[in-house]
Chain A
Amino acid sequence: MIEENLIKIWVQSIKNINLYIKKGPVIIFGLMFPFFMALSWVLGRNILINQIFIGITAMTAFFTATAISPVVLPIETREKSLERILSAPLSLNQILIGILIASSLYSMIITSLIAGIFIIIFPSLLNSLIYVFIFWLGILLMSILGSLLGLLVSAHPTDQTSDVMLMMNLIKFPLLFISGIFIPLDLLPLSAIILAFFSPLSFLTDLFRYCVNGHSFFPYQLDILILIIWIVVLFLINAYIHSKTMPKRFGESRSMPMKKNQMQGMQK
């Protein structure tokens, strides 16, 4: 039974990757956006390679993780395939985990690739295997966390990806700017540090800083713990909110009673 359920989740994840990886919003918001953002941040500035590495990897993890998960449900609502999945012998949580795995895998592969290229060119960025492991753990946690955030935004029962992506950007950019991606936390004023606590990206970049620079604002264990807490809380919120909004995806308006003029038309 457990094996059968795991297979169902895995098959769904593969389907989500196969079908949605090439969708416009995924390419634009998952790849092009972070690329051009990183470019505009780096070009013409005198920024240390360590900071570029941390910033670009964190941005890639965050943007790619929030690319697939928000679009799956709106597209499947529009194409009606969501109803097929919901009437199949699957639980709602299995459907959500299928999206989560697809989105996290996409993010982990792309971010690991970017990080790998940096490390090949600048091998001194991560100088011990422990740091490599913790760094990769950070990528893994952010991939899951970002995917959960995207999934949460897609709980809004719309069938338009543009609605969800607009909302996603309204959340993503404040989280990005209040985090320590562009300026390290220890260089920020106190008010900005307090604000940074509200962005999970702050803890990711702090964790990356520990791996790259050997020191961080918070103990690295605390960074990991906070990212895990974010994941658990977001998962629980997702499970609850999706169970409430899922039925609304199937057009209540289509179930409205027949209007009087329709009835009169029938009588004629």
Chain B
Amino acid sequence: MNKNIAINVLNLTKKFGDFTAVNDVSFKILEGEIVGILGPNGAGKTTTLRLLTGVYKLEERGKVEIFNEDLNNNLIICKKKFGIVPEISNVYSDYTVLQNITFSGKMYGLSKKEIEIRSNDLLKRFELINKKNSKTKTLSKGLKQRLNLCLALLHEPPILILDEPTSGLDPFSVKIMRDQILEFRNENKTILITTHDMKEAQTICDRILIMNKGKIIADANPEVLRKKFRSLSIIKFNAEKAFESNFAKVFHDLIIKPDGSYNFSSENVLKDLTDLYTFTSQNQIKVSDVKIQETSLEEVFIDLIKKDSIKEDFKND
């Protein structure tokens, strides 16, 4: 089944004076897809989200379409299609939970009746019903973030934008938030999420965009990304006697760990394991605890950012 394009971003650029925060970024997100934007601080993730949600005006070159509606020409219509959960809670701290929900509902053009019905459902769903008359400044960070989710879902938007939604939350709140995000997948919501948490990105996202210095340097499925960008695995083992001098001739990046164990990276695990066993049996060295460790998304991320930064440094030099 062909899916609609929920977000279509073309040549998105944002400059602050001489500094280019977002540099000619283009990507598409399909309806129902969960896409994660990863990147170091200052990579341009939040600026991209602010451009998408109309907080910043688009510059002449950039174009954003939300379900085929041009963001620049139909800003108000497009804004109604987003539900936004910010990194730092931005509810009115002197308003109660219910006052915040009512205010937000009215901003999105909901009637009193709609606000009443939906707020009741959401408050129950996010276990905030007992706190509905509490001022939000008295809530914990986790509860505030649940309220932000309520506000984002109140007008039933097809797209959710989550800016580091689990940042600084306790493990219990993180679990609630992740479970909710996975539930949204069943509701066919399109989700764009920025995160620093690689594990989170790997478990939740269908696709990952890696940003660095305002550019997208990788765009793929987390598994594909792992395999495509760093197909290395780490082979770890223990050996009964030191043999690294000979062995290092065969395996160039052999490392001896402080605990006496060895490891080396491998592009072809089967071949390298065979070589290892051949070499050790020929030299009568007993090996034990052989382990193969796959490259994590975090390693891919660090690797990519490092390579991209080195490339940029060369360009600048």
Contact = CB atoms under 8 A, between A and B. Distances in A.
Nearest to B305: A266
Interface string A64-92: 00000000000000011101111111110
Contact of A19 (B86, B94, B106, B305): B94
A81 B147 CA distance: 14
A89 B107 contact: yes
A258 interface: yes
A223 B13 CA distance: 49
A86 B302 contact: no
A12 B107 CA distance: 8
B19 interface: yes
B107 A255 contact: no
> By DSSP majority rule, is chain A's interface helix, strand, loop, or mixed?
helix
Interface string B21-58: 10000000000000000001111101100100111110
Interface in B271-303: 302
Contact of B80 (A79, A80, A89): A89
Given A7-B106, A87-B55, A89-B79, A255 B84 contact: no
Interface residues of A, number: 32
B42 A254 contact: yes
A257 interface: yes
Contacts, number: 108
Contacts of A12: 107
B40 A80 contact: no
Interface in A1-29: 4, 7-8, 11-12, 15, 18-19
A129 interface: no
B247 interface: no
Interface string A254-268: 111110001100110
A4 B114 CA distance: 15
Contacts of B214: 257
A15 B56 contact: no
B93 A79 contact: yes
B48 to A, nearest CB: 10
A174 interface: no
Contacts of A89: 75-77, 79-80, 107-109
Nearest to B103: A15
A247 interface: yes
B57 A247 contact: yes
B306 A80 contact: no
Given A87-B84, A255-B42, A11 B106 contact: yes
B42 A86 contact: no
A127 to B, nearest CB: 45
A61 B48 CA distance: 43
B88 A80 contact: yes
B213 interface: yes
B44 A255 contact: yes
Contacts of A266: 40, 302, 305-306
Interface of A: 4, 7-8, 11-12, 15, 18-19, 79-81, 83-91, 247, 250, 252, 254-258, 262-263, 266-267
24 contacts: A4-B109, A7-B106, A15-B92, A15-B103, A81-B92, A83-B86, A84-B90, A86-B54, A87-B82, A89-B107, A90-B76, A90-B107, A91-B76, A250-B56, A252-B17, A252-B19, A255-B46, A256-B19, A257-B19, A258-B213, A263-B40, A263-B306, A266-B40, A266-B305
Interface of B: 16-17, 19, 21, 40-44, 46-47, 50, 53-57, 75-77, 79-80, 82, 84, 86, 88-95, 103-104, 106-109, 151, 212-214, 302, 305-306, 309
A-B pairs, top 8 by smallest CB distance, nearest first, are A80-B90, A255-B21, A252-B16, A89-B79, A87-B53, A88-B107, A11-B106, A89-B76
